[in-house]
Amino acid sequence: MQANDLEVLLRSRVPIIVVDSRDEAQVLNALSAACRQLHAPPSAGAGTVLTRSGLPLFQWTVTDGLKRRDLEMGPPQRMLAQPPDILKHIRATTLAGVYALLDFHPYLQEPTIVRLLKDIAQDYERCARTVVLIGYETEIPHELEHLSARVALALPDRDERRQLVEEVARQWMRANPRQAVKIDPRAFDLLVENMSGLSAADTQRLARKAIYDHGAIQLSDVPLVMQAKYELLNHAGVLRYEHDTAQLADVGGLVNFKAWLEKRRAAFDGSAPQLDAPKGVLLLGVQGCGKSLAARASAGIFQVPLLRLDCAALYDKYIGESERNLRESLASADVLAPCVLWIDEIEKGFASGDSDGGATRRVLGAFLTWLAEKNSRVFVVATANDIAELPPELIRKGRFDEIFFVDLPNLTARTQILRIHAARRGIALDDANLSTLAGECEGFSGAEIEQAIVAALYSAHAKHIAPDAGLLRAEIAATRPLAVIMAESVAALREWAKDRTVAAD
């Protein structure tokens, strides 16, 4: 919504306008601009005062009462602070104009309030008084729906965000006249890009957070701004912002998957606009083989934030709330784009079944609709351990760009995993030891290899010696991997995936 959108609605003679926004100042400024372009209509009545400033604009709050915004007419009328009193005043006045009521939504459930608003709206032809309800997620009673129109505040585009950040930089320089803001051009562009989906006020607030801390815009500011943006938008608590992403060097194996991501990086970051941005992947595989790490690596490769959807937090005992939680979470992900949305163990959130009154089916339907229709740069990485629990409509071709199977690591991958975790924990292993140990841990998952290294550290500490290949070999020999304990289940999963998925390694 911009001023001209409001002007169109006001010219359309809609008696009640609902504006959904948390940025009251921006809405009121847009409303003032729209009113300046208009004049009171002929039906305004004999008492109407026509002014050069355009259509009269009033503002009401429960704390201060009513005041005129387009003219200076003294302090607010505090005797009109109560909701019934202000509506009775609007109903009785012969002054056509626009009456902006701030945070009026708590009173819309009262029958008297609904009746008064209906009286005002139905009397519009005699006296054109437009009531504008400014709030967030205002629910209009059914009796008033046919008399009202709803609009949302337009968010700043890229050029407007750039101007807002530049204005904050100028403010800092005015406060520090002998210094200039040190701007890294790459960081500046990323900052402007990653502020998409924020209101003008929030954009300026986060720009101040970045600039006022050290008088600069640096690459290190971008993750902090993204975290603050996430905290502003994640109201339902279903999404989690994951601070730690992974790089290619942190992932052993998964050669095909990493190459697949690299080929699509340019399409995702917009540097190849002729290519469609990738939608996402489903990672199916044996537990502990690196699916979660692969999700983190996706965000690292694309150099975007990682959001984790908590499927368990989606569900609510009230009918319709689960779907609403999902829709709000996905809408937040759209606003936080570009990002990677990681849905861990997706089968636990969308598993087939009718024991919950159909809530799972409705949540699944909402997710599939979003997945099919989304045009934002949200790359979905869904991970699953049990393919039998997933509904067929989720895994059919076209839902995801690709379905990868993450199998037990091969010899090369096990060598890489041993090298990564040993180096991370300060254990020196030469190539000969790495090769020998990798052969001895055949059938181990990546997580089991890591735990063997951790166990070797405990043993070394207990014996007051430095950890070495011998201790690690002993821990590997003492471990019974999942591929042995659950051999039948692992074999069945590998057999199912053989001709239906793409090997991640």
Domains of the chain listed by start with CATH number:
3-152 (3.40.50), 158-232 (1.10.8), 242-406 (3.40.50.300), 411-485 (1.10.8)
Cα dihedral 407→419→296→384 (10° resolution): 20
Residue 51, pLDDT score: 46
Tell me the per-residue pLDDT of 213-260, one tens digit each, with 9 for 90 and over. 888 888 888 777 877 777 776 655 577 777 667 676 677 888 899 899
In DSSP terms, 282 is beta-bridged to 382, 403
The one-letter code for the residue type at 245 is: T
User: Given strand 57-61, what is the order of strands in its sheet?
Assistant: 65-68, 57-61, 97-102, 129-135, 16-20, 148-152
pTM, entire model: 0.66
The one-letter code for the residue type at 451 is: Q
Q: Which helix (H) or strand (E) segment is 60 a member of?
A: strand 57-61
Q: Which helix (H) or strand (E) segment is 58 a member of?
A: strand 57-61
What's the Cα-to-Cα distance from 190 to each of 158, 183, 186, rounded to whole Å?
A: 11, 12, 6
Phi/psi region, residue 110 (left: phi>0; alpha: psi -120 to 50; beta: rest), is beta
CA–CA dist 63, 65 (Å, integer): 6
Q: What angle do CA 496, 383, 485 make, to 5 degrees?
A: 60
CA–CA dist 283, 253 (Å, integer): 14
Do residues 22 and 136 touch, judged by C-beta distance below 8 A? yes
CA–CA dist 477, 484 (Å, integer): 13
Residue 2, pLDDT score: 54
Q: Is the peptide bond before 338 cis (omega within 30 degrees of 0)?
A: yes
Cα dihedral 336→305→371→321 (10° resolution): -60
CA–CA dist 196, 476 (Å, integer): 49
- Encoding tokens for residue 61? 């709050």
- The stretches in the chain having pLDDT less than 70 are 1-4, 39-53, 233-237, 243-244, 246, 248-249, 312-321, 351-358
- Helix, strand or coil for residue 327? helix
What's the Cα-to-Cα distance from 257 to each of 53, 406, 465, 503, rounded to whole Å?
A: 63, 9, 39, 8
CA–CA dist 419, 437 (Å, integer): 10
Nearby residues of 17 by Cβ (< 8 Å), 6 or more positions away? 6, 9, 10, 130, 131, 132, 133, 148, 149, 150, 151
Which of 115, 112, 152, 154 shows the shortest CA–CA distance to 135? 152
C-beta neighbour count of 304 within 10 angstroms: 24
- Helix, strand or coil for residue 267? helix
| C-alpha atoms less than 13 angstroms from C-alpha of 278 in its C-beta half-sphere | 24
If you compute the radius of gyration of the chain from its CA atoms, what whole number of angstroms results?
Answer: 30
